[in-house]
Amino acid sequence: MANIFYKKSLKDLLEVSSDGHQLKRTLTAANLIALGIGAIIGAGLFVRTAAAAGEHAGPAVTISFIIAAVGCAFAGLCYAEFASIIPAAGSAYTYAYTTMGELVAWTIGWALVLEYALGAATVSIAWSEYLNKLLGNAIPYEWTHSPFESILNADGTMTTGIMNFPALIILLLISLLLIKGTQESAIVNAVIVFVKVAIIILFIALGWGFINPANHTPYLIPDNATPALLPDGSFYDYSKFWNHGMGGVITGAGIVFFAFIGFDAVSTAAQEAKRPERDMPIGILGSLVVCTILYILFSHVLTGVAPYTDFVKEGKEASVAFAITKYMPGYDWLAFSITIAILAGFSSVILVMLMGQSRVFYSMAKDGLLPKVFADVHPKYRTPYKSNIILFFFVGTFAAFVPGSVAGDLTSIGTLFAFVLVCIAVWILRVKEPELKRNFKTPLVPLVPILGVIVCSAMIVGLPGTTLLSAAIWLVAGLGIYFLYSSKNAAKKRGE
pLDDT for the residue 392 = 93
**Nearest Cα to 449, choosing from 425, 423, 420, 428?**
423
Rg, the chain, Cα only: 22
CA distance 21 to 51: 45
**What is the pLDDT confidence band of residue 209, given thresholds at 50, 70 and 90?**
very high
End-to-end CA distance of the chain: 8
Q: How many CB atoms lie within 10 A of CB 214?
A: 8
Cis peptide before 213 (omega within 30 of 0): no
Q: Whats the size of the chain, residue-wise?
A: 496
Question: How does DSSP assign 188-246, residue by residue?
Answer: HHHHHHHHHHHHHHHHHHHHGGG--GGGGSSSSPPTTPPPEEPTTS-EE---SGGGSHH
Residue 59 DSSP class: G
Domains contained in the chain, CATH given: 31-489 (1.20.1740.10)
Quick one: pLDDT at residue 146?
86
CB contact at 8 A, 254 and 244 = no
What mean pLDDT comes out for the span 329-358?
A: 83
Residue 22 pLDDT greater than 80, yes or no? no
Q: Look at residue 242 in the predicted model and tell me its pLDDT.
A: 74
Q: Which of 1-10, 80-89, 304-313 has the highest mean pLDDT?
A: 304-313
Cα gap 4→220, rounded to integer Å: 47
What local confidence, expressed as pLDDT, does residue 211 receive?
96
Q: Which amino acid is at 116?
A: Y
Per-residue pLDDT tens for 445-461? 899 999 999 988 988 88
Q: List the Cα angle 431/449/490 in 5-degree steps.
A: 65
Say what the pLDDT of residue 20 is: 46
Please give the residue that has the higher pLDDT: either 21 or 353.
353
Closest CA to 287 of 16, 38, 22, 478: 38
Alpha-carbon distance of 145 to 405, in angstroms, equals 12
DSSP type of residue 160: E
How many angstroms separate the CA atoms of 260 and 215, rounded? 26
Distance CA 277, CA 87 (A): 7
DSSP sequence for 241-274: GGGSHHHHHHHHHHHHGGGGTHHHHHHTTGGGBS
Is the CB of residue 16 less than 8 Å from the CB of residue 268?
no
Residue-wise pLDDT tens digits, 369-409? 999 888 888 888 777 888 889 999 999 998 998 887 677 67
pLDDT band at 267 (very low <50, low <70, confident <90, very high): low
Mean pLDDT estimate for the chain: 82
Q: Is the pLDDT of residue 129 over 80?
A: yes
The stretch 468-483 carries a mean pLDDT of: 90
Handedness of CA 27, 30, 32, 34 (dihedral sign): negative
Four-point Cα dihedral 194, 188, 18, 375, nearest 10: 130
Report strand pairing: 228-229 vs 158-160.
unpaired
User: Is 281 in contact with 80 (CB distance < 8 Å)?
Assistant: yes
Whether the predicted pLDDT of 156 surpasses 50: yes
Among candidate residues 89, 93, 119, the one with its CA nearest the CA of residue 107: 93
Write down the pLDDT at residue 23.
Answer: 55
CA angle 133, 136, 138 (to 5 degrees): 105
Strand partners, 160: 150
Band of residue 291 on the pLDDT scale cut at 50, 70, 90 = confident
Which of 181-195, 319-333, 411-425, 473-487 is predicted with the least confidence, judged by mean pLDDT?
A: 181-195
Question: How far apart (Å, rounded) are the C-alpha atoms in residues 304 and 30?
Answer: 34
Least-confidence region, from 324-328, 414-418, 492-496: 492-496
Q: 164 forms bridges with which residues in the sheet?
A: 144
The answer to whether 357 and 384 are in contact (CB under 8 A) is no
pTM score, whole prediction? 0.74
Q: Return the higher-pLDDT residue of 11 and 467.
A: 467
Do 16 and 269 meet the contact criterion of CB atoms below 8 Å apart?
no
